[in-house]
Amino acid sequence: MPSPEYEQLLSALPDGFADPSDSVEQVREKFAQVGGAGADADVEVEPASLGGVEAYWVTTPESDRTRHLLHVHGGAFVSGSARDYLSLAAQVARTLRARVAVFGYRLAPEQRFPAALDDCVAACRGALEQGVPPGRLGISGDSCGGGLAVATLLRLRDAGDPLPACGLGICGWFDLEASGESAQQPRGRDPFLNAEWIRRRGRDYLGPDGDPRHPHASPLYADLAGLPPLFLQCGGVDLTGDDSVRLAERARAAGVEVTLDRWPEMIHAFQILPGAIPEAVEARRRLAEWTARHIP
């Protein structure tokens, strides 16, 4: 059963956040209203350039400075920035006991696919070029950032580049076609998403003639062989939840080590809900426990 804290927060979240009729400007305004706060006073925030991409390394007193994570922010490809994610990066850095880099990428529709992915690949290569060992680096992402994180691994693999030690998808959006059962037949109220809104944001990213099954846009349709271990965490009420379930199945069939952590009662991106929601705290703990095994 969901915790009382989660139920209370869910009841306070209004419907209408994901309105398919919203313009990109309206989407950005709504995301700005729920954007994260800055980092706490004991958090070190260091501006950086990773492969020419603006970034911030976030370090907490708990961080092991030899353990690194690149986090790709969400925002449906059309909104969000590195600064918006400093608070989340600090939470992740504390829980994972790592240095976490958050970085910006070019947003749609002004810059369409593959611009955002190109920036993610550049940031990962930049971290490696600056001396971060691939075996001490992970890459994670929430929502569309989860899809970009896995697509980054695919691009690096195809180029023969060194691969990070692991990849993590936090309610990852891996299918821009929104063909999963969770999108076709929603299992509950998710105030953050609806299927047509998802498809519209995908079109913003791909453009009118873009292919929603391109493997670098929708990693669900990619050949996943040769990827590093993956941790995929999703909610059962999340409209993108079946993306993680299906990606886990395909990864396992391709010989990839994969862990699927599904929370049946949870909505999209529940791990980053404001406040000390017990489910979010426990979900981040599981992320940290898994990551510690792959970046010891």
For the segment 64-82, what is each residue's pLDDT rounded down to a tens digit? Answer: 999 999 999 999 999 999 9
Residues 114 and 86: beta-carbon distance below 8 Å: no
For the chain, the domains span 4-294
pLDDT reading at 246 higher than 70:
yes
Residues 128 and 137: beta-carbon distance below 8 Å: yes
- pLDDT greater at residue 118 or residue 10: 118
pLDDT band at 275 (very low <50, low <70, confident <90, very high): confident
Contacts of 73 (CB under 8 A, 6+ apart): 80, 81, 82, 84, 85, 102, 104, 141, 142, 145
Lowest pLDDT segment from 13-22, 112-121, 150-159 = 13-22
Region 4-294: CATH code: 3.40.50.1820
Pick the catalytic residue: 81, 87, 143, 244? Answer: 143
For the segment 192-219, what is each residue's pLDDT rounded down to a tens digit? Answer: 888 999 999 999 999 999 999 999 999 9
From the list 111, 125, 113, the residue with the least C-alpha distance to 52 is 125
pLDDT reading at 58 higher than 70:
yes
Assess whether 238 carries a catalytic annotation.
yes
pLDDT of residue 37: 66
Show the beta-strand stretches assigned E in the chain: 44-50, 53-59, 64-72, 98-103, 137-142, 166-170, 230-235, 258-263
Lowest pLDDT segment from 146-150, 160-164, 182-186 = 182-186
DSSP states of 30-81 as a string? HHHHT------TT-EEEEEEETTEEEEEEE-TT-EEEEEEEEE--STTTS--
Q: What percent of the chain has pLDDT over 90?
A: 86
Pick the catalytic residue: 68, 73, 268, 294? Answer: 268
Pick the catalytic residue: 238, 242, 244, 294? Answer: 238
